[in-house]
Amino acid sequence: EIVLHMIDAKNLERMLTFTFQLIEAGLPTILVLNMMDEAESLGKKIRTERLEEELNIPVVPAVSTHGKGMDILRGKIEEYVRKSKEKDKRKQGEKDNLL
């Protein structure tokens, strides 16, 4: 399970409240900053790498109407699935060692 939380990049500050709630709830989340083109045309500079570090979740800049960022998003989802499977295998190995 993973939450793809897509927000309007033009209103990042207002939209992050729910993002914080998802993170605090412990839900695995990928933040998708949609409408990046419009945010940039308004002069907004969003440092996605820094945001990713601060939130400790993947952050993907996107323009969904043009398909921009979808390959990156797909890659982040695949990476999450791979890591999740590895984690499950480790947990199973730990359980097996206890028996």
CA pair distance 59, 8, nearest whole angstrom: 13
Q: How far, rounded to the nearest angstrom, does the alpha carbon of residue 87 sit from its chain's CA centroid?
A: 19
5 versus 99: the higher-pLDDT residue is 5
Does 99 have pLDDT greater than 70?
no
Does 10 have pLDDT greater than 90?
yes
CATH label of the domain that carries residue 47: 3.40.50.300
- As given in the structure block, the two tokens for residue 82 are 């791979």
CA pair distance 69, 91, nearest whole angstrom: 33
Domain enclosing residue 71, as ranges = 3-98
Model pTM score: 0.84
pLDDT digits (tens, 9 = 90+) for 15-73: 999 999 999 999 999 999 999 999 999 999 999 999 999 999 999 999 999 999 999 99
